[in-house]
Amino acid sequence: MSDFPLPSIIDRDALQGCRALDAANLGFLFFIGWLTVPDIRARIEQIIEDVIRRNRGEVEFHQAVREVVESLEPVLRKYPQYAEHKIIERICEPERQIIFRVPWQDDRGEVHINRGFRVGFNSALGPYKGGLRFHPTVYLGIVKFLGFEQVFKNALTGMPIGGAKGGADFDPKGKSDAEVMRFCQSFMTELYRHLGEYTDVPAGDIGVGTRELGYLFGQYKRITNRYESGVLTGKSPHWGGSLVRREATGYGLVYFVEEMLRVRGETLEGKTCVVSGSGNVALYAIQKLQMLGAKVVACSDSDAAIYHKEGLDLETLKQLKEVERRRLRDYLQFHPSAKCLQPKELWNIPCDVALPCATQNELDAEHARTLIANGCKLVAEGANMPTTPAAIRLLHEAKVAFGPGKAANAGGVATSALEMQQNASRDAWTFEYTERRLQEIMRRVHNDCFAAAEEFGHPGNYALGANIVGFRRVAEAMLAFGVI
Ligand code: NDP
Ligand code: 2IT
């Protein structure tokens, strides 16, 4: 791949002809000769086993590690220095994990205790970067899977950002603004000491949007006595946020899908689409799909899916979910002809394009079979790890184009990096300019994944391409830094 300036040591030696071998090179060549294909396979299995043993019960983290590490076999074969320096083993161990108590009082004065997390996974390419998730299902295994994915995703964007994730097992649903504020203030009262624009820069994720980021930023500013805009991203454009950040993950996802279709000589015009979720990612994916001439017939939340055959009414959706924070089934009050289904029944709806944009493991093998049987041509992940490994295998076998989250949803964090750039230069870019930058980044991410998949003998396998490109960028930096 042309974007890696450092050729492997073997390539360099070959280019320089018969350079005398020093002791270190001799040792290295011995290592290459010794590492056979079965050895590499065994080594990979050992790495996965060790991760499972050392991170007990963290099943989502195990799943994310297995997906990446198993795909790196051809990379270890081509670049043995990564095995020699134990780069994969090091990447699988977070650099730091912070767990803390978050006490807060509800509006009646009752005390509640939640658990807060921040996992700084890898800072080889820049400060830790990644969102905060507030959801009752959050525990260390979720935060670690998300942080691990973020390392490769952030590398794929080509921006100078490391990987991290955080959050709490706090449920913002049904809480008053004052309760959310008190929770966020308590959360930041511990977290602030671990953050900084050059250290760790959180953003939003499930349950954390502009409201929460406002309370978090306010408390950070108050405690530190610094207006350090670049310490959080996803801020409102009224106080240091970037235009397009709100739309970025959904828009970026659709740009990625556009590129996947372009390769196949197709466009989104007239395509029938199904999008799960109805949060930040889903709403703006729906918006961009509609702008590009697709028909979006269904979306969901954790209680229901809505099937509106004539095409979803986005204005009503946004008013319900973004402004009034209501349940999706209330959509039927405005469109009685729409159907209300169980959330998972969403995948039974015939479509050309399916975009899972809610949560992890929401699209399983059975759903994949149904999508394939109904003629679905493309699945791309707006959410993080929403497709189970068995479902991904089935989609690949059926030649359904599959866009993995760490590439397809990278537009959110890429625009966060653009927000950091604007904050660092005390500038504010126009919507048009920022969106153009986002579009360029998503095209580049697509092309890099596509090229790597082809180079490693699996054309069209974006999941493989994404893992290889993301891994190599981090690995090269880690090699350069030595054993740290
Ligand atoms: P939001 O909180 O805005 O929306 C989440 C949506 O998913 C809601 O519709 C929610 O339904 C649904 N959902 C959440 N958890 C579950 C669950 N356990 N079962 C069923 N439905 C669920 O979050 P985002 O839109 O920001 O995030 C969605 C996904 O995209 C996540 O996987 C996130 O990690 C990923 N992502 C987000 C980015 C961002 O910039 N925000 C960037 C890249 C990826 P309900 O309201 O009923 O809970
Ligand atoms: O999963 C993700 O990429 C995010 N939640 C966005 C992270 C960020 O720092 O913008």
Q: What percent of the chain has pLDDT over 90?
A: 92
**Cα 44 from Cα 46, distance rounded (Å):** 5
Query: What's the average model confidence in pLDDT over 474-479?
Result: 98
Q: What pLDDT, on the 0 to 100 scale, is given for residue 15?
A: 32
Q: What is the mean pLDDT of the chain?
A: 94
Q: How far is CA 46 from the centre of its chain?
A: 26
pLDDT of residue 340 exceeding 70, the answer is: yes
How far, in Å, CA of 20 to CA of 31, rounded?
A: 18
Q: Other CB atoms closer than 10 Å to residue 228's CB: what's the count? A: 18
What pLDDT is attached to residue 20? 37
Over range 431-436, report the average pLDDT: 98
Widest Cα–Cα separation across the chain = 79
Atom of ligand 2 nearest to the CA of 130: 9
Residue 417 alpha carbon to ligand 2 centre in Å = 10
Ligand 2 center to residue 437 CA distance, Å? 17
* Confidence at residue 187, expressed as pLDDT on a 0 to 100 scale: 99
For the chain, where do the domains classified as CATH 3.40.50.10860 start and end? 96-227
**Mutate which of 129, 161, 302, 346 to test ligand 1's pocket (most atoms within 8 Å of Cβ)?**
302
- Residue from 129, 144, 153, 165 carrying the catalytic annotation: 165
What is the band of 437 on the pLDDT scale with cuts at 50, 70, 90? very high
Query: What's the distance, CA 356 to chain centroid?
Result: 13
Residues of the chain with pLDDT > 70, as a percent, come to 93
- Domain 247-403 superfamily per CATH: NAD(P)-binding Rossmann-like Domain (3.40.50.720)
Homologous superfamily (CATH) of 96-227 is: Leucine Dehydrogenase, chain A, domain 1 (3.40.50.10860)
CB 481 within 8 A of CB 87: no
Q: What is the mean pLDDT of residues 444-463?
A: 98
Where do you find CATH 3.40.50.720 in the chain? Answer: 247-403
Confidence of residue 34 (pLDDT cuts 50, 70, 90): low
pLDDT digits (tens, 9 = 90+) for 163-198: 999 999 999 999 999 999 999 999 999 999 999 999
Residue 206 alpha carbon to ligand 1 centre in Å: 4
pLDDT digits (tens, 9 = 90+) for 296-332: 999 999 999 999 999 999 999 999 999 999 999 999 9
Strands 111-122 and 96-105 turn out to be antiparallel
pLDDT at 226 over 90: yes
Banded model confidence at residue 36, pLDDT cuts 50, 70, 90: confident
Q: Which of 13-27, 28-42, 409-423, 458-472 has the lowest mean pLDDT?
A: 13-27
| Closest C-alpha to ligand 2, atom 3 | 413
